[in-house]
Each structure stands twice: as C-alpha cells, then as structure tokens.
Amino acid sequence: MEATYMLLQHYWWFLVSLLGAMLVFLMFVQGGQSLLFTIGKTEAQQSMLLYSTGRKWELTFTTLATFGGAFFASFPLFYSTSFGGAYWLWMLILLCFVLQAVSYEYQAKKNNLLGKKTYRIFLLLNGILAPMLIGIAVGTFFSGAEFVVDKQQLTCTQNPVVSSWKNPGHGLEAALVWWNVCLGLAVLFLSRVLALLYFINNINDDDVQQQSRRRLPWEAALFLVFFLTFFVRWLLQDGFAVNPETKEVFMQPGKYLINLIEIPAALTGLLVGVVGVLLGIAKTVFCRRWRKGIWFAGAGAVLTVLALLLCAGWNNTAYYPSTASLQSSLTIENSSSSIFTLKTMAFASILIPFVLAYIAYVWRTLDRHKVSRQDADC
C-alpha cells in the first residue's frame, strides 16, 4: 500500500513534470510572438509568422490548462498554497494568456476595436512576459517561497485558511530573486531559439528563413549564458532535502547535483536533452539547407526541463520549499492527493499516448503544407 502510494506520487510528479516540459517546448509560440517585429519586417512576413504560430497557440494554451488541472488533481496543496499565495505572479501569467487567446483571432479582423497593431503588441507582450514569468515561477521550486502551511488552522472557525503567504508582495517578490529571473530569461531565450527553428522548418519564404538563421546564433548565445548561469548555480546550491524517516526538511549542500547522480534517468535525460538542443541549433547554423533543428532542439528542451523538474521533486526533495517555515515545504508526499485519486487518474492517464498520437498526426498533416505568402494573404 505504502509502496504503491509512493510509486503513484512519483508517477504523477513525472506526468506533471512532463506537462511542464512540453509547455516549455510549446512556448516556441510565445518565442515567435516575441520575434514578430524582429523577424517580420513587412506586413506579409508578420502575417506569415502569425499564420504559422497561429496554428499552434491552442496547443500551448491547452498544455498550460492541463498542467494546472493535473497539478490541482495530483498535488492540491501546491495548487492551494501557490496560487492562493503567489497571487500576483499567477494573475500576471493569466493576464498574459488572456491577451494571447483573443489576439490571434482578432488581430486580422475588421472593426476589431483596438486596431491590428494593438493586438500584435499584445502578442509581443505575451511572447516576452509569459516565458519570463513562468520561468520565474518555476525558479521558486529551487529558491523557495515565503509561506506557512498549518492544517490545524481549519479548526479555527474565524480564520480557517490552511495556507498563508508571508510576503506582502504575494508572488511579485519572486521577480526580485536573481536566480529566478535568470531562469526566466533562459526560458525566454529558449522559446525564441525554438521559434526561430520552427520558422525555419515551417515557413517557405527566403527572407524569413535568412533572417531566422541570422538571428539564431545570437539568441542561442543569450540562452546559453542565462541557462548555464542558472544551471551551474543549481548544481552547486544547497537544496531542500527531506529525511525519508522523519520527514523533516533540511538544507543539503549540492542536493540537486546529488539528485542528478542518484537519478540516472534524469542525468541521462539531461545529457541527451542538452546535446539535442545544441545539435538542433548548431546544425541549423552550419548547414544552411537543414530545416529539422526544431525536432532535435524541441525534444532536447523537453528532456532537459523534465530532468530538472524530476530533480526538484524526486529523491526525497521538497519541490516547493518554504523559506518562511522550512517544515511547511511541500513534498510530493505531503502535498499529493489520496492513493485512490492518484490511482484513478493513473487509469485516465493511459489515454495520454493516444492523445499524443493524434496531436502528432494532425501536426504532421497540417505541416505537410508549409506556410507561404499565399497563406498569409488569405
């Protein structure tokens, strides 16, 4: 029973991490939006970029929604503590996505109230802020947040709130932590790198191809600077470990490096992932006719992020540490749903491969016809 419960908790942490990793990959849509006025020099080029990413934005959006739903279902204490506490951080993320959802549809329509330019600026804002803010939010998995969880509080009828946030910034304070910002910038530039690779793959236009290829090394360099800065610090920092016997949370030097070593799957995923990202970028830069970089870099990004997130929650680690009350830190054990719920949802998760299969089929079918100026004119 205990072993099954632990297995299910690990399985659901894996699924949530996988969704998070897929979300980072699919944020190439945001990256593309952030490059709208950089790569898209003319109206025709901007229209092609929007037509190209416009066929995919729903998938990114849906992955975010499912990520939220899966987190709620499998680790409800995180959902209640983080969303109810880091209120402003999550609200800003949501506002960014609201702007995106309407802008694709409305920007090219007549009588759209705010004008085409405004909606495109909304897309630009979403393109920059969404990856940044999501990166900052994920950064708190390693740097911690100021909250207290006290379940006994439910018996206090005048103030029965279990989770309380101890910083008046209600999430905004996370944006003042350099390492969180560093991860946010890494995610932003990764999304831009992936977007360039996606444009190279998806758009049949010489100008867009040339500009994307020209831009790629610079964006890749910025990504590597911020990612490596975060990554080296991540390997060396003290981590939030859990004593498996007493369940006590304590600071352990080099915890995440230890996790990488003790979770071979994560280490392998990380190494393969980094190679995939670098290969996707390097081959695109050096082979002028090669257009498949997005698949290597995309798969690499998924594996890398998955490895980082697995190290955040597996191997007796507190994935959402509290700097206000260390013992309030959330672990996959103390924040998960019941064994019954995890097991029930595990049956539902059997459908995930089918979902991935039809997404891949539809993606392939639609992308068989590359985007051209004619599409943009439609």
Partner 1 sequence: MVETIDTHLIDWSRAQFALTAIYHWLFVPLTLGLGIVQAVMETAYYKTGNEFWKKTAQFWMKIFGINFAIGVATGLILEFEFGANWSNYSWFVGDIFGAPLAIEGILAFFMEATFIAVMFFGWGKVSKGFHLASTWLTVAGATISAYWILVANAWMQHPVGMQFNPDTVRNEMVSFWEVALSPVAVNKFFHAVLSGWIVGAAFVVGVACWFLLKKRETKFALSSIKIGAIFGLIACVLSMWTGDGSAHQVAQKQPMKLAAMEGLYEGRNGAGLIGVGVLNPDKERYNDGKAPFIFKVEAPGMLSLLAERSASAYVPGIANLIEGGYTQKDGTVALSAQEKMERGKLAIRALASYRAAESDSARQQAYATLDKNFKYFGYGYITNPSDLIPPVGLTFYAFHVMVLIGGFLLLLFAAVAFLSYKNRLAPKRWLQRVCIAAIFLAIVAGQAGWIVAEVGRQPWAIQDMLPTSAAISKLPTSSVQLTFFIFLALFTVLLVAELKIMISAIKKGPQIEQAQ
Here's the x/- map for partner 1, 97-126, by CB under 8 A: it reads as xx--xx-xxx--xxxxxx------------
Number of residues that bind partner 1 (CB under 8 A): 77
Distance of alpha carbon 304 from alpha carbon 268, whole angstroms: 9
Residue 51 has phi, psi (to 5 degrees) of: -65, -40
- Binding to partner 1 by residue 265, rule CB under 8 A? no
Here's the x/- map for partner 1, 212-241, by CB under 8 A: it reads as ------------------------------
Residue 42: its H or E element: none
Q: CB under 8 Å to 71, separation ≥6 — which residues?
A: 16, 78, 79
Q: CB under 8 Å to 117, separation ≥6 — which residues?
A: none
- Binding to partner 1 by residue 362, rule CB under 8 A? yes
Minimum CB separation from partner 1 for residue 168, in Å? 8
- C-alpha to C-alpha distances, 113 to 103, 109, 278, nearest whole angstrom: 12, 10, 43
**By CB under 8 A, what part of segment 277-316 binds partner 1?**
none
Minimum CB separation from partner 1 for residue 62, in Å? 4
Minimum CB separation from partner 1 for residue 166, in Å? 11
Distance of alpha carbon 359 from alpha carbon 7, whole angstroms: 28
Minimum CB separation from partner 1 for residue 21, in Å? 16
**By CB under 8 A, what part of segment 133-152 binds partner 1?**
151-152
Which CB, 114 or 228, lies closer to partner 1?
114
Minimum CB separation from partner 1 for residue 199, in Å? 17
**By CB under 8 A, what part of segment 26-85 binds partner 1?**
55-56, 58-59, 61-62, 64-66, 68-70, 72-74, 76-77, 79-85
**By CB under 8 A, what part of segment 319-358 binds partner 1?**
337-338, 340-341, 344-345, 348-349, 351-352, 355, 358
Here's the x/- map for partner 1, 152-171, by CB under 8 A: it reads as x-xxxxxxxxxxxx--x-x-
Which pair of structure tokens corresponds to residue 42?
A: 């003319």
Q: CB under 8 Å to 215, separation ≥6 — which residues?
A: 35, 38, 39, 196
Minimum CB separation from partner 1 for residue 57, in Å? 9
Which CB, 103 or 315, lies closer to partner 1?
103
- Binding to partner 1 by residue 5, rule CB under 8 A? no
Distance of alpha carbon 203 from alpha carbon 211, whole angstroms: 12
- C-alpha to C-alpha distances, 114 to 35, 128, 222, 265, nearest whole angstrom: 21, 20, 34, 49
Mind giving me the DSSP string for 309-350? HHHHHTTTBEEE-BSS-GGG-EETTTSS--HHHHHHHHHHGG
